[in-house]
Amino acid sequence: MLYKHLSDVTEEELDKLLDRTGELMDVSETVSAILHDVQEKGDDGLREYTKKFDKADIQAIEVTPEEMEEAMGLVDAELIRHLEIAAENIRNFHAAQLPEKTWFIEPTPGIKLGQMATPLASVGAYVPGGRASYPSTALMTIIPAKVAGVKSVVMCTPPGPDGKVNPLTLAAGKVAGADHIYKLGGVQAIAAMAYGTESVLKVAKIVGPGNVFVTVAKMMVRDKAEIDFPAGPSEVLIIADDSADAGMIASDILAQAEHDPKSVSVLVTTSAELAEQTNAEVKKQADAAVRKEIVDSSLENAAIIVTDTMDECIAISNDFAPEHLEIMVKDDDSVLEMIENAGSIFVGNYAPVAAGDYASGTNHVLPTAGYPKLYSGLNIHHFLKYSTIQKITKEGLGSIGETIIALAEKEGLQAHADSVKLRLND
């Protein structure tokens, strides 16, 4: 773990910390081959790659009602209750994001301009498996789509070697309201949703996180299905002063570290004492970590940086553009006002990233690797499209007619100009 005062951090160390796009390594050749095979072979290609990568023989690609019933029976009723609590909070938050469906303004008599929001026809939600199951991601990807009014929401998630999906993930898909659930992971799942197969419905947009292969696959199918944004290994940056608690900060660093060996955790603080305490706490808590091997690998990417001023902390954060940003300072509002780039922001000592990951209601599907400079985290607008509307009377057209005609003729588009002249001279 990098542990230094900002003045001692080398340019090479800073560049490594700030440039995480290298995680989206070039695997395009492998991804392209799988996409092509699935497009050509359909269900047979899906079964072939599921056997190769997940070690599972699957005949029925879609989860059957019997499999769903079996899964629900295997999940403790108390866990179902907690899924429903989280689902309700997620549903309420995203419902609050809904825009007015249709609105109009009248800037000039006879001209009414407006906008109409309509949901996408279909959405595919990718829910990772791999190192762990993520039922929470099923809630985060499916519920906002349903709140937006998307009629067909499908979910893809990889099966285990027995050909079955984790029961809790299936339960989450059911609670969230998925219309179809497919036993598919990796590039082949993205291909299936983008192109459609005999068993899998083609969708208009694919959302959800995944590994580098999934991310590259999403980026490569954008001519067939839109996507949310690129997303790589999880990351957190914590801005703290001497009012913060070292044990809490360390626990949040480890919470990110246990995701993936390539996860990134950073503390920037004005307090050398807090930095020292946090460093000691991280080592102590890491020794007792359940996923110790993953945590130890991830901590090689971690950093604790001491600065002279809070402005320096904020500048580092804005350059880093973290997926998750925690603010643990006395005057948190003043810091919050200066934040420009972050996927999701957690303010105060009692707002750990885990709250947003599971149950507060905000979405945990977020851009990483500096992409918060360009993209917003998953939200209701990802599932809507907008059409502009114009209601124009003859009087209204007359008020802008000369302008339209002049500009159209200047561009050499006489028919455009004539379409206005005809109406004004009738």
Order of strands, sheet of 264-269, starting from the edge strand that comes earlier in the sequence: 2-5, 303-306, 264-269, 235-240, 324-328, 344-347
The bridge status of strand 384-392 relative to strand 111-119 is: antiparallel
Q: Which long-range contacts (CB under 8 A, 24 or more apart) does 86-93 make?
A: 86/136, 86/139, 86/358, 86/359, 87/139, 87/143, 87/175, 87/176, 89/359, 89/360, 89/361, 90/139, 90/140, 90/143, 90/144, 90/361, 90/363, 91/143, 91/147, 92/361, 93/360, 93/361, 93/362, 93/363
For the chain, the average pLDDT equals 96
Intervals of CATH 3.40.50.1980 along the chain: 2-24+232-361, 28-227
C-alpha 280/C-alpha 253 separation (Å) is 12
* Local structure of 123: helix, strand or coil: strand
Active site residue 324: yes
Asked whether 261 and 294 are in contact (CB, 8 A), the reply is yes
- Assign 131 a pLDDT band (cuts: 50, 70, 90): low
Active site residue 36: no
pLDDT of amino acid 20? 82
- Assign 24 a pLDDT band (cuts: 50, 70, 90): low
85-99: pLDDT as tens digits: 999 999 999 999 999
pLDDT of amino acid 231? 85
Q: What count of Cα atoms within 13 Å lies in the side-chain half-sphere of residue 172?
A: 28
Amino acid letter at 335? V
- The answer to the question of whether 242 is labelled as a binding residue is no
* Local structure of 182: helix, strand or coil: strand
Asked whether 255 and 223 are in contact (CB, 8 A), the reply is no
C-alpha 107/C-alpha 113 separation (Å) is 8
pLDDT of amino acid 194? 98
pLDDT of amino acid 130? 62
The tokens describing 276, both together, are 């020292």
pLDDT of amino acid 426? 80
Catalytic: which of 226, 235, 258, 323?
A: 323
Work out the burial of residue 140: count CB atoms within 10 Å of its CB; fewer than 13 is exposed, 13-18 middle, 19 or more buried. buried
292-345: pLDDT as tens digits: 999 999 999 999 999 999 999 999 999 999 999 999 999 999 999 999 999 999
Catalytic: which of 94, 324, 364, 382?
A: 324
- The answer to the question of whether 259 is labelled as a binding residue is yes
Classify domain 2-24+232-361 by CATH architecture. Answer: 3-Layer(aba) Sandwich (3.40)
Amino acid letter at 130? G
Q: Which CATH class is domain 28-227?
A: alpha beta
- The answer to the question of whether 126 is labelled as a binding residue is yes
Amino acid letter at 382? H
Q: Which residues contact 176 (CB under 8 A, 6 or more apart)?
A: 87, 138, 139, 141, 142, 143, 146, 155
Is 192 a residue whose pLDDT tops 60?
yes
For 224-369, strand residue ranges (E) read 226-227, 235-240, 264-269, 303-306, 324-328, 344-347
C-alpha 60/C-alpha 54 separation (Å) is 15
* pTM (global) more than 0.85: yes
* Local structure of 4: helix, strand or coil: strand
C-alpha 417/C-alpha 421 separation (Å) is 6
- The answer to the question of whether 364 is labelled as a binding residue is no
pLDDT of amino acid 19? 85
C-alpha 397/C-alpha 262 separation (Å) is 59
- The answer to the question of whether 26 is labelled as a binding residue is no
1-10: pLDDT as tens digits: 999 999 999 9
Is 23 a residue whose pLDDT tops 60?
no
Q: Which helix (H) or strand (E) holds 112?
A: strand 111-119
Work out the burial of residue 224: count CB atoms within 10 Å of its CB; fewer than 13 is exposed, 13-18 middle, 19 or more buried. middle
Instruction: Write down how long the chain is.
Output: 426
Cα 178-180-182 angle, rounded to 5 deg: 115
59-114: pLDDT as tens digits: 999 999 999 999 999 999 999 999 999 999 999 999 999 999 999 999 999 999 99
Asked whether 97 and 361 are in contact (CB, 8 A), the reply is no
- The answer to the question of whether 357 is labelled as a binding residue is yes
- The answer to the question of whether 277 is labelled as a binding residue is no
Asked whether 228 and 365 are in contact (CB, 8 A), the reply is yes
Neighbours of 264 (CB within 10 A): 29
How many percent of the chain have pLDDT more than 90? 93
383-421: pLDDT as tens digits: 999 999 999 999 999 999 999 999 999 999 999 999 999
DSSP string spanning 34-83?
Answer: HHHHHHHHTHHHHHHHHHHHH----S--BPPHHHHHHHHHHS-HHHHHHH
pLDDT of amino acid 22? 66
228-242: pLDDT as tens digits: 998 888 999 999 999
